[in-house]
Chains A and B, each alone.
Chain A
Amino acid sequence: MSVLDRKLHRELRGHAGMLLAVTSIIAVGVACMVTLASSYRNLSEAKKLYYAQCQMADFSIELKKVPLSELDQIAAWPEVAAIRPRIQQYVAVDLEGVSEPLNGLALSLPDRRQPVIDDIAVRQGGYFTDRRDNEVIVNEAFARYHRLRPGQWIKLILNNQQQELFVVGTSISSEFVYLLGAGTITPDPKRFGVFYLKQSFAEEVFDFKGSANQVLGRLSAAARGNPKEVLRRAEQRLSDYGVFTTTPLEDQMSNKFLSQEIKGLESFAVVTPTMFLAVAALVLNVLLTRIAQQQRTVIGTLKALGYSDMQVFWHFLKFGLSVGATGGLIGCALGWWMASGMTRIYQSFFQFPELENRFHWSIHLTGLGVSAGCAVLGCFRGSKAVLKLRPAAAMRPNPPRSGKTVVLERIGWLWKALSTRWRMVLRNLLRNRLRTLAGIFGAAMGGSVLVNGFMMEKSTQYFLDFQFEKVLRSDYDLLFKDERGREALDEAAKLPGVDRAEPMLDVSCTFSNGSYRKKGSITGLLAHAQLTVPRDLDGRPVRIPAHGLAMTRIMAEHLHLKVGDRVIIEPIKGEKIARTAPVVEIADSYLGTAVYAEIHYLSRLVGEEFAVSGVQVLGDGNPRHREAFFREIKQMPALQSIAGRKDMVRTLQETLLDNQRVIIDIILLFSGIVFFGSILNSSLVSLAERQRELATLRVLGYGPWEIGGLLFRESAITTLIGTILGMPLGYLLTRVTAAAYASDMFRFPIITTADIWLWTLAYAAVFALLTQLAVQRAVHKMDWLDALKVQE
């Protein structure tokens, strides 16, 4: 080790406190980068592999029933690489020992194993055998939750008949990475499963001989960029067979959730670390400027001895690089560990054959490179000023700083009103602009991260409350296979334990306004429905008009509609006669793109007197009644599925809120580190720079707490200003987050309540006070008699 390296080594140890502050900020920045970038790569690589493995469909077309022969022509289109007709039906599952009715989706698969579009990956057991017709492969998550194993029998209600099926295996598939039941937004393996049946058996039991109700397809490489055109033509071609929906891959539910998450990770892998690393660079800058100033004489002497500027600069650079490398290494390790955590969270949401936290060399090297770069940037300014000096000048003591008045002194009345201590504090802050700015910037970043965390928490709570307490208020939604009449409502109202039952009519249709078109559905409700209450942003109920539509804002924006405009509605089922309806109200929703109408009005719009596609019920809360309710529901042949709002909220809370809690704890920790690091650094640098001045104050009778108090006033001012500036930044950051994750299915409400700001200030204050403890320790340890001695 060269002797200068030994000097460096000792200096690093000598500045341990300050370096810890900078190192931890760098570590946090790198950790964020490594975590987010690794998670991004883990997810996107797993997705790519899995999609290729299962031959993920580029599109799907859902229709009433189409003879297979009709599909040949589409299969022959040059844009279409391959198609696969499939039968899909919602089914009810009756598991022994489970009182509540469970839902599932039955899908057909070839009787014999062959690679198909939207293939499965068998996890346990095997594929269908020739031994029985009624074999079933169950999706892994459902099977695991209910402890279903190959060799067991399960009961499904298929086409109104209870069938016993023999489980041959469990599986996963790329189309259900994020498996959602009807009307839910988080996977619920307890209540929703996928059941693969033999093609021949499905044709038999669902009465689909030689026909299908879903077409999956893969596009040629050339057409992959524009699936909508192919789908438009396919829809035209198949219009006689009742096309309900055409879904390009980008709109496929599971893919959409997964891709959105990947997209979010991609952007935040840049934004968040940049914030932390910018603070680190600035803080390091302040620190190294201080160290270089402190070492003016040493630098001058080294140069006098014949060291070149490059050698001295390299020596300083190594100082920064050591800090950067240490921070980078800690950050990489921490990031690796957190990425494992993130991947575990994703494993609970997303079903992949293999989703593991891989070690991505390039990310870790980038992390190290970025941290080193940020350290070099921090070093540059610090050493530049001193290096520029001729050795003779460097060895002369630093010329006294300009003693000019600061801006505030020009406001005479204000300045006069201040005590001497405040004047000292303010002069010091205004004369050391870079340090003050670094302190403010650090606090601003810390504050903005805090605001972001608190706002996210608030948003989620608000979202759950708005959507599941205020808008959707039923306990259970019963959805029928086909539209029914008034008797369905009466039947539901008489179910045990039902306090209230309200009819619902869901009409899938295409909305159009000039060139703007969008598929969706209209939900028909009673004029004074209490179990679904559309609301505006302020939570006020939006009236369901007797004539016309109440449309959610996002749908209206898609279609460029405003209140008073008319929209063309073309139902997908039934008579399919296009009609126009006025937009009478605009409602707000954070979930889906609902459009509401009065149920009688809607019935007439589709040519019926009074049609019901589902019933919402509110229970009396008696658990015994609930058991009876479940028993009866299971006997209802017309029932397609049942969605439990409370179950959904519980699942949401378990997954969404719990995971968010962890993330918010990490945010608190990280912002704490940023506050701690930047305040500690500013205060210690200030203390070191003003040793003589502060020692003189000690002689004059100031106690260590009073000296600490002076430093605390400085950090309190920078922290307060920074935190206040950080608040709008945090708000912006949340808006960007919300925009990154916004989709038709789900939007983040932006909630700003006073307590967000108050909590942010409170946390900033706590962090500042905790940091002050460390500063105070340094003040107590300061050898003020030594500081008073004449220095060269």
Chain B
Amino acid sequence: MASHPVGNSNHHLLRMENVGKVFQMGEVAVEALRNVTLEVRDGEFLVMVGPSGSGKTTILNLIGGLDGVSSGRLWFRDRDLTAFTPGELTRYRRDTVGFVFQFYNLVPNLTAYENVLVSTELSREPMDPLEALRLVELDERLDHFPSQMSGGEQQRVSIARAIAKNPALLLCDEPTGALDFETGKRVLRLLLDLNERLGKTVLLITHNSAIAQVADRVVRLRSGQVVEVHDNPRPLPPEEVVW
């Protein structure tokens, strides 16, 4: 099946060209992505939807420089990520990308504040960690360890950690997946605010189609392929989304 070429390449932040990814699991090769071509535009809120195993996380990992492609090309602005050395990839992750993980991936023996600090210490133009935590309304819980916080709070720390280093691109892997409905909506609101107020490009992946209603653009994936891309002229505010 052919994938849909999308968007207007003049404003793209990121572009995937015929990207394939194969995982070697022992003696079995699993094809996670097949011929994916896709663009991410500067400043947009893009949601990628698909059932589990559709290749969402793989795409996110490739875009984030956490993993390498098996075939195809991947461009960030005019730079070819697939040609990056490990050192260049590290710098790319350090300066350009912010990650928000489904299970937060906080360092368990660091406090909320220190978990943000872990990222700002690396960065060239970081936010004040306190400011980042204030943005996620957690400035009262600076000294709490992850185990002393709820899932929603942990996810907000994870978001604060991602935005604190001022990345151009925020990659969110099922950020509401482990959260209850109300908390999930708060997290979505936060991400939208960051997109609107700070102008961050947000790429969010989810298996939950309802969330796609808040996006500027939606990409649907199935079995490692892009099956649909559409613009959403009237995104809903998260408060009105129901799932």
Binding site for B on A (CB under 8 A): 2-4, 6-7, 10-11, 14, 297-298, 300-309, 390-393, 395, 399, 792
B44 at interface (Cβ–Cβ under 8 A)?
no
Instruction: Knowing A309-B86, A792-B103, say if A6 contacts B93 (CB, 8 Å).
Output: no
CB-CB < 8 A to A6: which residues of B? Answer: 110, 114
B101 at interface (Cβ–Cβ under 8 A)?
yes
CB pair A391–B67 under 8 Å, yes or no, is yes
CB pair A306–B90 under 8 Å, yes or no, is yes
A297 to B106, CA, bound (A): 9
CB-CB < 8 A to A302: which residues of B? Answer: 107, 118
CB pair A309–B90 under 8 Å, yes or no, is yes
CB-CB < 8 A to A399: which residues of B? Answer: 25
Secondary structure dominating the interface of A: helix
Choose one: B66, B91, B109; the contact of A303 (CB below 8 Å): B66
Per-residue interface assignment for chain B, residues 89 to 105, with 1 indicating a CB less than 8 Å from any chain A CB and 0 otherwise: 01111110101010101
A303 to B64, CA, bound (A): 11
Question: Which residue on chain A has the smallest CB distance to residue B117?
Answer: A3
**How many residues on B have C-beta within 8 angstroms of the other chain's C-beta atoms?**
33
CB-CB < 8 A to A297: which residues of B? Answer: 105
CB pair B121–A395 under 8 Å, yes or no, is no
17 CB < 8 A contacts A-B: A3-B118, A10-B109, A300-B105, A301-B107, A302-B107, A303-B90, A304-B99, A305-B99, A305-B122, A305-B161, A305-B165, A306-B97, A307-B90, A308-B87, A390-B67, A392-B66, A399-B25
Question: Which residue on chain A has the smallest CB distance to residue B115?
Answer: A3
Choose one: A14, A303, A305, A395; the contact of B119 (CB below 8 Å): A305
Binding site for A on B (CB under 8 A): 25, 58, 61, 64, 66-68, 86-87, 90-95, 97, 99, 101, 103, 105, 107-110, 114, 117-119, 121-123, 161, 165
Best-buried of A301, A308, A792 by chain B (most CB within 10 Å): A301
CB-CB < 8 A to B92: which residues of A? Answer: 306
Instruction: Knowing A306-B90, A308-B90, say if A7 contacts B61 (CB, 8 Å).
Output: no
CB-CB < 8 A to A3: which residues of B? Answer: 110, 114, 117-118, 121
Question: Which residue on chain A has the smallest CB distance to residue B158?
Answer: A301
Instruction: Knowing A7-B110, A306-B91, say if A395 contacts B105 (CB, 8 Å).
Output: yes
CB-CB < 8 A to B95: which residues of A? Answer: 306
CB pair B107–A298 under 8 Å, yes or no, is yes
Choose one: A10, A307, A308, A390; the contact of B68 (CB below 8 Å): A390
A270 to B183, CA, bound (A): 63
A77 CB to nearest chain B CB (Å): 73
A764 to B115, CA, bound (A): 45
- Nearest 5 interchain pairs by C-beta: A306-B94, A792-B103, A392-B67, A392-B61, A392-B66
A304 to B62, CA, bound (A): 11
Best-buried of B95, B97, B119 by chain A (most CB within 10 Å): B119
B51 CB to nearest chain A CB (Å): 18
A304 to B105, CA, bound (A): 10
CB pair B121–A303 under 8 Å, yes or no, is no
CB-CB < 8 A to A300: which residues of B? Answer: 66, 105
Question: Which residue on chain A has the smallest CB distance to residue B62?
Answer: A392
Question: Which residue on chain B has the smallest CB distance to residue A390?
Answer: B67
Question: Which residue on chain A has the smallest CB distance to residue B95?
Answer: A306
CB-CB < 8 A to A303: which residues of B? Answer: 66, 90, 93
CB-CB < 8 A to A305: which residues of B? Answer: 93-94, 99, 118-119, 122, 161, 165
A308 to B87, CA, bound (A): 7
CB pair B66–A304 under 8 Å, yes or no, is yes
CB pair B117–A306 under 8 Å, yes or no, is no
A746 to B161, CA, bound (A): 73
A783 CB to nearest chain B CB (Å): 12
A517 to B243, CA, bound (A): 104
A297 to B105, CA, bound (A): 7
CB-CB < 8 A to B61: which residues of A? Answer: 391-392
CB pair B66–A390 under 8 Å, yes or no, is yes
CB-CB < 8 A to B161: which residues of A? Answer: 305
A308 to B85, CA, bound (A): 12
CB pair A304–B64 under 8 Å, yes or no, is yes
Question: Which residue on chain A has the smallest CB distance to residue B113?
Answer: A3
CB-CB < 8 A to A395: which residues of B? Answer: 66, 101, 105
B242 CB to nearest chain A CB (Å): 27
Instruction: Knowing A306-B122, A393-B67, say if A301 contacts B105 (CB, 8 Å).
Output: yes
Question: Which residue on chain B has the smallest CB distance to residue A399?
Answer: B25
Best-buried of B68, B103, B110, B118 by chain A (most CB within 10 Å): B118
A342 to B25, CA, bound (A): 59
Question: Which residue on chain A has the smallest CB distance to residue B91?
Answer: A306
CB pair A307–B99 under 8 Å, yes or no, is no
Best-buried of A303, A306, A392 by chain B (most CB within 10 Å): A306
B52 CB to nearest chain A CB (Å): 14
B129 CB to nearest chain A CB (Å): 10
Question: Which residue on chain A has the smallest CB distance to residue B118?
Answer: A3
B64 CB to nearest chain A CB (Å): 7
A390 to B165, CA, bound (A): 22
B30 CB to nearest chain A CB (Å): 12
Instruction: Knowing A306-B93, A306-B94, A308-B87, say if A301 contacts B109 (CB, 8 Å).
Output: no
A307 to B65, CA, bound (A): 12
Knowing that A305-B93, A306-B91 touch, tell me 11 more A-B residue pairs with CB under 8 angstroms.
A4-B121, A10-B110, A297-B105, A301-B101, A301-B107, A306-B94, A308-B90, A392-B58, A392-B66, A392-B67, A393-B67
A403 CB to nearest chain B CB (Å): 11
CB-CB < 8 A to B114: which residues of A? Answer: 3, 6-7
CB-CB < 8 A to B97: which residues of A? Answer: 304, 306
Best-buried of B58, B87, B109, B117 by chain A (most CB within 10 Å): B109
A130 CB to nearest chain B CB (Å): 83
